[in-house]
A = this chain, B = another copy of it.
Amino acid sequence: MIYVDNAATTPIKPEVLDKMMPYLTEKFGNPSSIYKSGREAKEAISKARADIAEALGADEKEIYFTGSGSEADNWAIKGVAHSAKGRHIITTAIEHHAVLHSFEYLGRNGFEVTYLKVDNDGLVNPDDLRAAVREDTSLISIMTANNEIGTIQPIKELAQIAKEHKIPFHTDAVQAFGHIPLNVEDLGVDLLSVSAHKIGGPKGVGALYIRKGTKITQFMHGGAQEYGKRASTENVAGIVGFGCAAGLAMKNLDKNIAKTTSLRDYFIKKVQESIPHCRLNGHPTKRLPGNVNFSFEFIEGESLLLMLDMKGIEASSGSACTSGSLDPSHVLLAIGLEHEIAHGSLRISFSEDNTVEEADTIVRELIPIVQRLRDMSPLYHK
């Protein structure tokens, strides 16, 4: 099996699971309990929090664990919007659904939303943001890197505009964290979402960075966990795994970037050389190291994925959440693709564990599959 859908989720790294195991077995105490097994659990969480904080250049007190990247997004967006007076909020047309649907929800509940357009490479134009800002703008949320096409936004420049207008700036960094360097001070963002399962950690754990002084309402009410801001008995093992995965990702960041970037570019070149009528989606260089997104004309994405799966190749046609839905990717439409081309996209997301041999195998299998589907397609004429 060749797994090249690391943007959808990643296997837990063996070192990470090792660190989690004690908290799935004998160290099972509730971190809120004052006795030994409780204190051990609490310390483990503190340690993980410090790891995440360090990875982001943040203070430990600014890191709040959540149950997912989606929860971090929901909390950031609804929490900031609801604590503000202004009723105008800004995001982009290519956000992940966790952001997009949170904005749509606010849009149905008294807020006015501006969705910034992107160019053909998926980039937001800072001038567009400048033009969109109003007196009553109370939140700007722009993702660091896109989950489908991998395009990396000029967050520093965009956050600077927000700062000039004293508007809280949130970025969904779920795809970027652990894959490219990120520093909240350098970027100048006020809120930033991350998720463990995209970097070799477990599913069901995320975190939200909230800059000190940022006004945000509570999302989950109850016990005093997470500095009293996010109730729920902590997913101790999950949090420990997240901390460990973040630490590993940071330790190997440069090495991993070099490796996956060269694998990505090698693969892109080979596909372009061997399959006609294909289009690379996303920015050629400002893109996530592991991300490849191709549209193959005349064919539909799901069929392509199923055929690859039959050959033991696990890839995606966009974000995992949209598979099974009938709509073509909102991201591909936003970068200007025609509907039928948007339907025919393939996302390959490499991790540092993928190899050149795997890339070669994928290309070798892909060529006849694309041809076969084209031969079956009423849109294709040789």
Contact = CB atoms under 8 A, between A and B. Distances in A.
A367 interface: no
Nearest to A220: B74
Interface in A232-289: 232-238
A234 B71 CA distance: 12
Contacts of A99: 222
B5 A30 contact: yes
A30 B12 contact: no
A317 B162 CA distance: 47
Contacts of A321: 32, 222-225, 231
Interface string A142-181: 0000000000000000000000000000000000000000
Interface in A1-52: 1, 3, 5, 8-12, 17, 20, 24-26, 28-30, 32-38
Nearest to A221: B101
Given A10-B28, A231-B101, A34 B67 contact: no
Contact of A25 (B17, B25, B30, B238): B17
A197 B23 CA distance: 12
A127 B221 CA distance: 29
A195 B235 CA distance: 12
Given A9-B29, A105-B218, A34 B302 contact: yes
A86 interface: no
A10 B222 CA distance: 20
A96 interface: yes
A151 B68 CA distance: 34
A58 to B, nearest CB: 22
Interface stretch (A118-126, A200-208, A332-340, A370-378): A200-208
A379 B70 CA distance: 52
A235 B74 CA distance: 17
A84 interface: no
B102 A36 contact: no
Given A70-B222, A222-B73, A232-B71, A28 B12 contact: yes
A70 B203 CA distance: 18
Given A234-B204, A305-B34, A220 B70 contact: yes
A66 B66 CA distance: 12
Contacts of A105: 218, 221
B32 A8 contact: yes
A25 to B, nearest CB: 7
Given A8-B30, A11-B25, A324-B34, A235 B309 contact: no
A74 B221 contact: yes
A9 to B, nearest CB: 4
Contacts of A308: 35
A98 B223 contact: yes
Contacts of A225: 321
From A12, A233, A306, A320, residue with most partner B Cβ within 10 Å:
A233
Interface of A: 1, 3, 5, 8-12, 17, 20, 24-26, 28-30, 32-38, 66-71, 73-74, 96-99, 101-102, 104-105, 195, 197, 202-205, 218-225, 231-238, 302, 305-306, 308-309, 314-316, 319-325
List 10 A-B pairs, minimum CB-CB distance, nearest first: A204-B235, A67-B67, A223-B321, A98-B222, A68-B232, A101-B221, A32-B320, A35-B309, A70-B232, A9-B30
9 contacts: A9-B233, A33-B316, A38-B314, A67-B68, A69-B232, A96-B222, A99-B222, A203-B237, A204-B238
